[in-house]
Chains A and B, each alone.
Chain A
Amino acid sequence: MQTLIDILSQPAILVALIALIGLMAQKRNMSDTVKGTTKTFVGFLVISAGAGILETALVPFGAMFEQAFNVTGVVPNNEAIVALALSEYGTNTALIMFFGMIVNILIARFTRFKYIFLTGHHTLYLAAMLAVIMAVAGFNTVGLIAAGSVALGIVMTLSPAILQPFMRQLTGNDNVALGHFSAVGYAASALVGKLFKSSKENSTENINFPKGLGFLRDSTVSIALTMIIMYVIVALFAGATYIENELSGGTNFLVFSLIQAGRFAAGVFIILSGVRLVLSEIVPAFKGISTKLVPNAKPALDVPIIYPYAPNAVLIGFFASFLGGIFSMVIMIFTGGVIILPGVVPHFFTGAAAGVFGNATGGFKGSVIGSFVNGVVISFLPVFLMPVLGDLGFANTTFSDADFGVSGIFFGSLANYAGPIAITISLIVILALMAIPVKKQKAETK
């Protein structure tokens, strides 16, 4: 019995078992099954290795920032915070992810929300966040996994659902949905864009926009460059004496900063390879099983699917969102407390998408102002998210995208008011609300 518990409390073994079940359910041959199971197992251990490297780069950054400005500076990065969360909450994350995907399939099967969320890395990241929040809320192990899975399944369905009206407008059909947990930011951008409905015809795509910033799409390059800039600025404020005496062991403070910035990018690179290995069997299995069980399923896919609809808006959105991030940072400097630094990766991916949606509803003006609002949203949400994350709230990094903030703050605040009971009741109410419109709709069509 003890051996069994030991096996199941090792997340690497657990995700490998999940992959094994998925592969067997698809009746794959022996060679594929062995390969897939092993890769998943190793992938999880690769993530932990990346987390170690990343932590050694983040700790001095936090120390330097405090020394320089006397406040905590936070660089939101999903990969970083997830890797840190997995070292303590790995088993629960794996189970929440597994059952959360089942809940997603059940909701899609039995309600009018036909969305199957296929962006596996975001599923994994949200599972990790929910594992943390439910643990902080005070659930026991079984309750934690149940509540986390139901919450994950609900967000996997509602996130694409709130964007679908705008996706229809953008793509001209109702076949594909967007599966990216920053939907609240995109919807905000699209709604802001509506205010500029009159200038909708004045699209971003009519502008001849300079090319050549495509290298920012390469996440290793953009993470390394921004971290170098941030590290060097903070190092200059923290001062050579402090860094060389306390942190670098005598190495020149700028050289030390440069290396730490590179090490952050290296850590993220390794974590991404691990995530890729972990997901490579689980996502196709999920896709295969869901298409069989849910007729008329709408796949919710990763965010770059909408970039080709407005390539100029992608770049404009990034800049406007990044400006929103800087604007928010300046406000935080004046109001005190935690300071959220604008990371290029979240602003690029979510800002770009916000730009595309803003352009679809309000042309150039909608794109610029909508993305700016997205930038402000993804800067301020982490401020309120961090207090509900327990120990991880002090990690100098946090979840970056809007839906993590919204759902985390929602469940975290419920837990603060009335603990697990409040969360359980809210989950039941949400599920009930999602189930009701089906009957209504059927009655109407009759």
Chain B
Amino acid sequence: MKILAVCGSGLGTSFMVEMNINQILEELGVTGVEVSHSDLSSATPDDADVFFLAKDIAEGGAHLGEVVVMDSIIDMDELRTKVKQVLEKKGLI
């Protein structure tokens, strides 16, 4: 499975979210999930199975398919809950 974190310029925010998702995956002991980050322009629905984006660009990323919208991009608890939901849905935990 592949997760892509997306933000406006694909430099800072999405990168931070990627690192946080990796940390959560490690905590949960889940392997085999590839996480990377990208800007909104380059991201296409083929790039990943699930896309994580912040609330403020959710509108611009609606075309990506399976999108998880984060209310706060610095709230680790929210991210943990949402990553868990995705993993459960995909049958990985």
Residues of chain A touching chain B, judged by Cβ–Cβ distance below 8 Å, are 118-122, 176, 211, 214-215, 217-221, 269, 272-273, 275-276, 279-280, 283-284, 287, 301-305, 307-308, 311, 314, 349
Q: How many residues of B sit at the interface, in one of the four size bands?
A: 20 to 34
Task: Say whether B16 contacts A118, CB under 8 Å.
Answer: yes
Tell which of A214, A219, A221, A305 touches B73, judged by Cβ atoms closer than 8 Å: A305
Residue among A218, A269, A275 having the largest count of chain B Cβ atoms under 10 Å:
A218
A-B contact pairs, 26 of them (CB 8 A): A119-B11, A121-B12, A122-B12, A214-B57, A214-B59, A215-B60, A217-B56, A217-B57, A218-B8, A218-B40, A218-B41, A219-B40, A220-B41, A269-B41, A276-B11, A279-B15, A283-B15, A287-B19, A301-B16, A301-B74, A305-B73, A307-B56, A308-B55, A308-B72, A314-B56, A349-B8
CA distance A366 to B42 in the complex (A): 36
Task: Say whether A219 contacts B9, CB under 8 Å.
Answer: yes
Separation in Å of the B63 CB from the closest CB of chain A? 12
Task: Say whether A284 contacts B56, CB under 8 Å.
Answer: no
Task: Say whether B41 contacts A308, CB under 8 Å.
Answer: no
Tell which of A272, A276, A301, A304 touches B56, judged by Cβ atoms closer than 8 Å: A304
Residues of A within 8 A of B11 (CB): 119-121, 272, 275-276, 279, 302
Given A118-B12, A219-B9, A220-B41, 5 new contacts (CB under 8 A): A211-B59, A217-B56, A218-B60, A304-B12, A308-B55
Separation in Å of the A111 CB from the closest CB of chain B? 24
CA distance A287 to B60 in the complex (A): 30
B56's nearest neighbour on chain A, judged by CB, is A307
Closest 7 CB pairs of A and B: A302-B12, A220-B41, A217-B8, A304-B13, A214-B59, A218-B40, A121-B11
Q: Interface 1/0s, chain B 68-89, versus A by CB < 8 A?
A: 0001111000000000000000
CA distance A303 to B56 in the complex (A): 13
Q: Interface 1/0s, chain B 41-58, versus A by CB < 8 A?
A: 110000000000011110
Residues of chain B touching chain A, judged by Cβ–Cβ distance below 8 Å, are 7-13, 15-16, 19, 37, 39-42, 54-57, 59-60, 71-74
Residues of B within 8 A of A122 (CB): 12
Task: Say whether B41 contacts A221, CB under 8 Å.
Answer: yes
Given A176-B74, A218-B41, A219-B8, CB of A311 within 8 Å of CB of B16? no
Residue among A120, A176, A215, A307 having the largest count of chain B Cβ atoms under 10 Å:
A307
CA distance A280 to B12 in the complex (A): 10
Given A272-B39, A276-B10, A314-B56, CB of A304 within 8 Å of CB of B15? no
CA distance A211 to B59 in the complex (A): 9
Task: Say whether B54 contacts A308, CB under 8 Å.
Answer: yes
Residues of A within 8 A of B54 (CB): 304, 307-308
